Structure 1
Amino acid sequence: MDLTIQSIQFHLYRFAFREPFQTALGILSHREGFVIEIRDRQNRIGLGEAAPLVGFGMESLAETEEVLRGLQKSLVNAEIQSLKDIKKLLKTCDRTPAAKHGIELALLNLLAQSQELTLSQLLANSCSGEVRVQVPVNAVMGAIAPDLAANKAQSYIEQGYRCLKIKVGTQDFELDLRRVAAVRSQVGNDIQIRIDANQGWSVAEAIANLKRLEFLHIEYVEQPVAAADLEGMAEVRRSQSIPIAADESVNNLAQLQRVIQTQAADIIILKPMVLGGILTAHHAALIALQFGLDVVVTTTIDGAIARQAAFDLAASLPIQRACGLATEHLLAAYQERI
């Protein structure tokens, strides 16, 4: 197998949201990042995507570009034969997770091609060897008006979704409660509903609010309190019945270990772009599963290349919960190349 890097190219893209997407962290109007193309001497092409997202402990877009320009020069003529080679080449990029994700993904896609495998098969071969053909996914909606949320939920159900994720954690909990209640009333009890507070509550607020939400049969709540407050999140977990999912609290493997040690969560949300790549996310998933936690793979509302990679990751893992991979409908259909 001859896999020697010949060239690295990348370009900036920007997607507009079809409508402003409101979370407890703010309103998103567009998503931007870089598409990366790595070509080897056999003229094979591996695609990657690097798209930092504000509020998730990631680097800026300018910092992503700076790292990509450096790697564009330093990786030419590098030889790759295994996953270990990819890890070694990118070991200095941990402080810029989006850039690392993008280059790593392009290299993984090249390595998979060279071995005549899909990315999911390449990942699965490092553990169970089993790949799922289908991965259940959730639909997601922002912190919108209750009547609009109910209508959107009905539309999602008609499209075949069986799991809905609703943003909460805004400054108006009564509105959050009405939003979730309206969706539950619209879809009935056979549909799973999960909520995402994006660190929007204090510990006391989270306990009180979640107790009021219990009657709506919530699958789990993502990140009810500040990411760094693991003791507080553990208290929330002990004080009410809705399972807790750690999201922003898990930006790296060290943070995952702290979540496990403090018993702060029942479920771990893994975002490959935030974690610095598919390989780190895969390793994190195996650690979480080993300690009895459930795993959900999600995107950071990325473009098609990163979404496909997140699907491949989920398909390579022995996990059952719906994953957050169906986000393409949130973005405009066209891609603006800059």
Structure 2
Amino acid sequence: MIEPFSLPLASPLDTAAGTITEREGFLLRTRDGLGEATPLPGWTESHEDCRNALEAADAALPDWQAALDACTDAPAARHAVSLAHLDAASRVERQPLYRFLGDDARVDDVPVNATVGDSSVDDTVESAREAVDAGFDCVKVKVGARDVEDDVERVRAVRDAVHDDVELRADANAAWSADEANYALDELAGVVSYVEQPLPKSDLDGHAALREHDVGVAVDETLTEHSVRDVLAAEAADVVVLKPMALGGVDRAREAALTAREAGVAAVVTTTIDAVVARTAAVHLAASLPGVPACGLATADLLDADLGPDPAPVESGRISVPQEPGTLPGEVRP
């Protein structure tokens, strides 16, 4: 059964495809499993294409492979189908999803980063301090919306304002030219651990060249055009940022994470501002990866409403991992 939903954002979100004010998606309910498809312009298929793929998948059930095949060109729809399948299977095994994906080791929580948006130097510093006071020891600062010199000043001001134990990251969302990225990475050496998506997503060679700096290079949007294996072959990243919704499912995202780790490249799990079902599945994915770095999973407060209670709250920079069988505890399943 396919159930559409629409959730308002707490504040508008600017994307490459325009500004959005709500997250529209679908719940997929099967006999024993629950999945979520929440397409995002610029990252996945359109809302209409997602619905069409889900309808074809739903008609193919209970043949799971046929249902997955119906979503070949629709990653958000495939996310819902694969998650419903994993949710059902982990419930049969009476295991939380992360243990079903990984091993039997119990994981109570995983580290998460705070995200500080684009604003003035003073406001950026204040937001970073508030995050650190709340217990976050990793802060990601959004850059790329203003002159690169101004962004460098903002990030340096945050570095001066918080203690050295706080990891800083910068996320340019593919906004810089090669010259701007080279300048920024020179200036931010010793200030940030890595810069996320400094260049346009198609530019593997450019990202590879940036790795000559003393700052890590992470790719995010790039993974909507290139596979992790392509990124590794091009030696284009020190870190891959994995969004299960955009990659077509928790299963695909975990395979990408393991492939990257085997090559010595770190993997960070984040979301596309998903509702509670997909967001909690991403928490399980992170928990299935021992020693995972701080992940971009503290996104529940970006929604003004959700499909149900949040079983994975954030406290002191760590997000709780549900321990009941499946993805969500039975009493909070929407």
Q: TM-score w.r.t. structure 2 length? A: 0.86
In the alignment, which of 44, 53, 59 is matched to residue 73 of structure 1? Answer: 59
Per-residue CA distance 1:1-28 (angstroms, 9 max, x = gap): xxxxxxxx22222222222344677544
- Contact 1:17/1:30 (CA < 8 Å) preserved in 2? yes
**Aligned partners of 2:292, 2:209: CA distance in 1, in Å?**
26
Q: Deviations over 1:56-86 (max 9, x none)?
A: 2x100110011111122221x43xxxxxxx5
Which residue does 2:200 correspond to in 1? Answer: 226
State the AA in 2 paired with 1:236. L
Q: Distance in 2 between matches of 1:27 and 1:211?
A: 32
Distance in structure 1 (CA, Å) of the matches to 2:121 and 2:302: 18
Compared with structure 1, are the counterparts of its residues 135 and 218 closer, same or farther at alpha carbon in structure 2 (3 Å cutoff)? same
Q: 1:54 to 1:317 in 2, by over 3 A?
A: same
> Contact 1:223 / 1:246 at 8 angstroms: preserved in 2?
yes
Q: Is the 8 A contact 2:12 2:21 kept in 1?
A: yes
Counterpart residue number, 1:62: 48
In 1, the alpha carbon distance for the partners of 2:154 and 2:19 equals 17
TM-aligned CA distance change 1:112 to 1:334, over 3 Å = closer
Once the two structures are superposed, residues 219-261 of structure 1 have per-residue CA deviations (whole angstroms, 9 ceiling, x without a partner) of 11111101111011111112x2110011112237x62111111
Mapped contact 1:23–1:170 kept (Cα < 8 A)? no
Q: 2:254 aligns with which of 273, 277, 282?
A: 282
Give 1:321's aligned amino acid: P
Change (3 A) 1:137 1:203: same
Select which of 25, 45, 53 maps to 1:33. 25
Identity of aligned residues (%): 40
- 2:11 paired with 1:47: no
State the partner residue of 1:242.
215
- Report the counterpart of residue 193 of structure 1 in structure 2: 168
Give yes or no for contact 1:271–1:299 (8 Å, CA) kept in 2.
yes
Q: Which of 256, 264, 268 is the equivalent residue of 2:236?
A: 264
Q: Tell me the distance in 1 between the aligned counterparts of 2:219 and 2:151.
A: 20
Distance 1:147 1:12, change over 3 A: farther
What is the CA distance between 1:119 and its match in structure 2? 0.7
Q: Which residue of the partner structure matches residue 208 of structure 1?
A: 183
Paired with 1:89 and 1:29, the residues of 2 have a C-alpha distance of: 31
How many residue pairs get matched? 308
Structure 1 residue corresponding to 2:11, chosen from 8, 13, 19:
19
Rate the CA distance shift 1:256–1:243 in 2: closer, same or farther, 3 A.
same
1:150 to 107, 110, 125: 125
Name the Cα RMSD after superposition.
Answer: 2.1
- 2:224 maps to which residue? 251
Residue identity in the other structure for 1:309: A
Q: What is the TM-score of this pair, normalised by structure 1?
A: 0.85
Structure 2: stretches of 5+ with no match in the other structure: 309-334
SS in 2 for 1:319: coil
2:326 maps to which residue?
none
Deviation of 1:172 after TM superposition, in Å, equals 2.3
Out of 85, 98, 102, the residue aligned to residue 80 of structure 2 is 102
2:139 maps to: 164
| Contact persistence 1:140–1:327 (CA under 8 A) | no
Letter of the 1:119 partner, please give it.
L
Structure 2 counterpart of 1:248, one-letter code: E
Q: CA distance change for structure 1 residues 50 and 178 in 2, over 3 Å: closer, same or farther?
A: same
SS at match of 2:188: helix
